[in-house]
Amino acid sequence: MTTAKALTIAGSDSGGGAGIQADLKTFQELKVYGMSVITAITAQNTLGVDGVYPMMLEAIEKQLECIAVDLQPDALKTGMLFNSEIIELVADKMEQYKWKNLVVDPVMIAKGGANLLQQEATESMKRKLLPLATVLTPNIPEAEELTGISIRNMEERKEAAKRLSAMGVNYVIIKGGHGDEKEAVDLLFDGSHFSSLVAERIPTKNTHGTGCTFSAAITAALANGYSINDAFQLGKDFIHQAIKNDLHIGSGHGPTNHWAYQESKR
């Protein structure tokens, strides 16, 4: 039996709720062997981000090379890349190694408001990384930042998805967590057609790491050979259970529950 492998290229969250910690927990729960390339170290907890310390480019490059020569991923995702130099290095290496099934979670702003992507890096992301992406998973503020348009309703969300698709992305999923609908509506655009998944909106402040976890579940599904629609459904189910059954840890925006999905299946 072949073991599916997934790689996360992202920042480290010392509080354990987001970043590579959330990704690896999600991979493990979905029976995928997880690997990581750390792009930055953050000092943070549920109250906020106290510091961001990007890795040297040489260290990031060496991590990528070590994965490439021995542990080729079946799918991979990017999270916090922080600056233009890191984005361009990661994109160049992805092309060099011909890695497929890339999920881009365009991490820009932390729950507490800290900037996790430098301003000039947005252009590098659009120019270098998005054309390599199989799936892009922005929330509404991130979709606004990437497209330059205001998103106040579903029609504007669809317009943003079209613009993101035109940047070279195969599948765009605009998450509905920041929407004002009574239910959480996630929108998928495949370049031609729209579809959506709906779940009840959970009234909780414990949503730290939801974007990381959602995109990691999709990555794990792609590594296991799922279609995009099935991966979308799994990601939606996984994060819904993780939010619904939160852990009540910390004094601020607490983390989601990464084992809740499997518990719900028993």
Q: Mark whether 209 is an active-site residue.
A: yes
d(CA 217, CA 38): 19
d(CA 94, CA 83): 17
- Positive or negative, the Cα torsion across 163, 165, 169, 173? positive
16, 34, 211, 235: which is the annotated catalytic residue?
A: 211
Task: List beta partners, residue 185.
Answer: 198
d(CA 122, CA 88): 11
46, 122, 147, 210: which is the annotated catalytic residue?
A: 210
CB 19 within 8 A of CB 53: no
16, 209, 235, 254: which is the annotated catalytic residue?
A: 209
Q: Quick one: which of 110, 95, 96 has its CA closest to 15? A: 110
Q: Quick one: tokens of 200?
A: 């009840």
CB 87 within 8 A of CB 124: yes
d(CA 212, CA 137): 10
Q: Answer yes or no: pTM beyond 0.85.
A: yes
Apex 146 CA angle, 186 and 62, nearest 5: 100
- Considering all CA atoms of the chain, what is the largest pairwise distance in Å, rounded to the nearest integer? 48
Q: 79-101: b or e for each residue (b if 16 or more CB lie within 10 Å)?
A: bbbbbbebbbbbbebbeebebeb
Q: Mark whether 78 is an active-site residue.
A: no
39, 78, 137, 207: which is the annotated catalytic residue?
A: 207
pLDDT in tens, 14-66: 999 999 999 999 999 999 999 999 999 999 999 999 999 999 999 999 999 99
Q: Quick one: tokens of 98?
A: 């011909």
Q: Mark whether 147 is an active-site residue.
A: no
DSSP 54-99: EPPHHHHHHHHHHHHHH---SEEEE---BSHHHHHHHHHHHHHHT-
111, 128, 175, 236: which is the annotated catalytic residue?
A: 175
Pick the residue with more confidence: 219 or 108? 219
- The half-sphere exposure of 48 on its side-chain side, counting CA atoms within 13 A, is 6
CB-CB neighbours of 154 under 10 Å = 16
42, 77, 93, 212: which is the annotated catalytic residue?
A: 212
Mean pLDDT of the chain: 93
Q: How do 171-174 and 135-136 pair as beta strands?
A: parallel
pLDDT in tens, 70-122: 999 999 999 999 899 999 999 999 999 999 999 999 988 665 555 667 777 88
Q: Mark whether 66 is an active-site residue.
A: no
pLDDT band of residue 179 (cuts 50, 70, 90) is: low
- Give the per-residue pLDDT at 97: 97
